[in-house]
Amino acid sequence: MKPIHMNSNKEDIAPLVLLPGDPLRAKYIAENYLEDIKLINDVRNMLGYTGYYKGNKITVMGSGMGIPSVAIYAHELYHFYDVKKIIRIGTAGAFAPETKVKDIILGTKACSHSNFGYAYRKTNDPIVDSSEDLNNKIIETAQELNIPIKTGVIYTAEVFDVYKNIDHLKQTIPDNIKPLASEMEAFGLYNVALDDNKEATCIVSISDSLFEENVDLTSEERQTSLNEMIILALESIIKN
């Protein structure tokens, strides 16, 4: 079987992948951080590029929004292109008052009310781990670059909680699970990686908060002003 959602040649995909949700953010990263870039995917305008960062071959491509979309691309990257490591980089909403807009969060675990874990892996576990090795490299790199990060649980929602109140779901999260951020992909990515025995984690920059006023990022800022997160991901994924 050939991949359905990508038209790339196997040799054009690097074993190291950054996976932003927005294909235009993938384009921005490729044009501003990689050398000798090549467009390697444009199916459904889900742009992907491969280039070199400090001599290391890197692929960066969009994954879309939501668990089903990211799961499709992660599955195809792992299965058809022998990708070893994926770092999702994206934006998220604050899930707790101590999480502030522009904070960088490393999702060491993801929890969700989604049925995806059971559908994909036949597990009812509502919380799933990301790659410990990748996480350790990100923490080490953040210290080296003097980039402040927070580590902890990410909540993966199926409803955009800025538009629709999901307090009825939040109230059922066990007290010992205290999510820092809310986004829509990590739980799916982590489940696919575990099923394929591959590595994946997620770094997000907080772009909006129900706990702060007049500090939300614009769509342009979401695309272009998250440079610390991008550099952190690039420097971490090339670490041996």
Just list the catalytic residues: 208
User: Which amino acid makes up residue 22?
Assistant: D
Nearest CA among 13, 32, 230 for reference residue 138: 230
Q: Running DSSP on this structure, what letter comes out for residue 202?
A: E
Q: CA 203, 207, 209, 215 torsion: positive or negative? A: positive
Nearest CA among 108, 4, 12, 92 for reference residue 60: 12
Helix (H, G, I), strand (E, B) or coil at 216: coil
Q: CA 67, 70, 75, 78 torsion: positive or negative? A: negative
